[in-house]
Amino acid sequence: MRAIVVEKYGGVGELKCQERPVPPLKANEALVRLHAIGVNYIDIYHRTGLYPQTLPFILGMEGAGIVEDVGENVTLVKKGDRVAYTGRLGTYAEYHAVPEAQLVQLPQSLSFEQGAAAMLQGMTAHYLATTTYPLKQTDTALIHAAAGGVGLLLVQLAKMRGARVIATVSTEEKAAQAKKAGADEVIIYSTQDFVSETRRLTANEGVDVVYDSVGRDTFEGSLSVLKPRGMFVSFGNASGLIPPFSPLLLSQRGSLFMTRPALAHYTASREELLWRAHEIFSWIQNGALKLFIYARLPLTQAKDAHQLLEERKTIGKVLLEP
C-alpha cells in the first residue's frame, strides 16, 4: 500500500511517499481501507518532532473508510462497516489497523469526507465548548484562529450554546468566514491589537474564557483580556510553545484558571467517545453544524497540504484522498 512516512523530523521535504506492507491485525483491531483522511495541525507537530514519535512512522491521526477485515476478538464492527476515527497514528495510508474501541460507525447519510472532517476537529470543539469550559448564554468567549479547522466548528458550537463570540483571524477573507460561522465580532489580529479591541468590545470587562490554539504569539494577550477568575484554555501551539512562566502570573492577572487539554483525555472511555461523535454527527445531519472543506488533495500531495496549513492559507478543513 502507499503511505506517507516520516523517517526524520523536519520540513515538508521529510514527507516521503513509500510502498509499505498492509499492516497485520492484532486480535482487537480492524483493518480499515481509508476513503478520506483528515489533515490536522497535530500532523505538523508530529512531522517536525514537536510531539515526538518513534521513527519512522506513518503520519496522520484521522480518517474514514470501510472495514476490510477484523481480528479474532473484534465484536464492535464487522467487515463492510463504514467507520470514522481519530487518535491512532498512521492514517496517511491506504490501509490502517485500528483498535476496534476507537472506531465509530459512520451514519449512512454522512460521506467519508464528512466523517474524516468531523472526528478530530469536531470532537475537539465539542469537548472545549461543553466540558473544558461549559459555555453558557451569559458568557463571552474569545476564540483565536477562528477560521481554522477547529475554529470554525468551535465558533458554531459556542453560538449553539448561546455565548457571545469574539473571534480573531489573520485576514479579511478569514474574517468573513468566521462571521458566516456565527461570530458576533471579528478582530483581525494581524493588523489590529486584539487586547485593546477585546477590551473595547467588552466595555473593559474582559471575557469569561479564551480558547487559544495559537500559543506563543497570543499567550500574553490572552491572559490580559480575561475577567478576574476567567479561564485560559490553551489547546494548541500553532505559533510555537508558550514559554515557561510562574503560576504567580495567573494570580497577578486576576486569579485566572488555566488548562492545557488534549482530545485523548476527553474521549478516553468508549462511552465519552460515542457521546461526542454521535452529537457531532447528528448536528451535521440536521444542519446545525456546517463543515467547511477548504481542499481535497491526493494522498501523494500531502506535502502541499502541510504547506497550505503551515502558511496559514487554509480556511476550515483539508482532506487527503488515498
Rounded to whole angstroms, what are the CA distances from 39 to 127, 140, 153, 245, 286? 19, 30, 15, 31, 25
Rounded to whole angstroms, what are the CA distances from 151 to 58, 156, 228, 256? 26, 9, 25, 23
- For position 92 contacting ligand NDP by CB under 6 A, the verdict is no
Which one of 50, 262, 268, 274 is in contact with ligand NDP (CB under 6 A)?
A: 262
- Cβ closer to ligand NDP: 177 or 202? 177
Which one of 103, 167, 309, 320 is in contact with ligand NDP (CB under 6 A)?
A: 309
Write the DSSP string, 153-202.
HHHHHHHHTT-EEEEEESSHHHHHHHHHTT-SEEEETTTS-HHHHHHHHT
- For position 273 contacting ligand NDP by CB under 6 A, the verdict is no
The footprint of ligand NDP on residues 165-194 (CB under 6 A) is 169-170, 174
C-alpha cell at position 46: 508530529
Q: What is the radius of gyration, based on Cα positions, of the chain? A: 20
Give the number of residues in contact with ligand NDP, rule: CB under 6 A.
30
Q: In a 3-state reduction of DSSP, which class is residue 52?
A: coil
- Cβ closer to ligand NDP: 179 or 312? 312
Other Cβ atoms closer than 10 A to 197? 18
What span, in angstroms and rounded, lies between the C-alpha atoms of 151 and 149?
A: 5
Question: Of the ranges 14-22, 97-105, 140-148, 195-203, which one interacts with ligand NDP (CB under 6 A)?
Answer: 140-148
- Cβ closer to ligand NDP: 18 or 131? 131
Which one of 63, 90, 115, 149 is in contact with ligand NDP (CB under 6 A)?
A: 149
Other Cβ atoms closer than 10 A to 152? 30
For the CB of residue 310, give the shortest distance to ligand NDP in the complex, in Å.
Answer: 6
Please, are residues 32 and 85 in contact by the beta-carbon 8 Å criterion? yes
Which one of 102, 114, 121, 202 is in contact with ligand NDP (CB under 6 A)?
A: 121
Question: Of the ranges 1-9, 75-83, 234-242, 247-255, which one interacts with ligand NDP (CB under 6 A)?
Answer: 234-242
- Cβ closer to ligand NDP: 183 or 238? 238
The footprint of ligand NDP on residues 29-88 (CB under 6 A) is 40-42
Q: Binding string to ligand NDP for residues 194 to 213, with x set by CB under 6 A, is what?
A: -------------------x
What span, in angstroms and rounded, lies between the C-alpha atoms of 282 and 85?
A: 16
Which one of 59, 167, 209, 263 is in contact with ligand NDP (CB under 6 A)?
A: 263
C-alpha cell at position 163: 455565548
What span, in angstroms and rounded, lies between the C-alpha atoms of 46 and 117?
A: 19
| Footprint of ligand NDP (CB under 6 A) | 40-42, 120-121, 124, 145, 147-151, 169-170, 174, 213-214, 217, 235-239, 261-263, 309-310, 312, 314
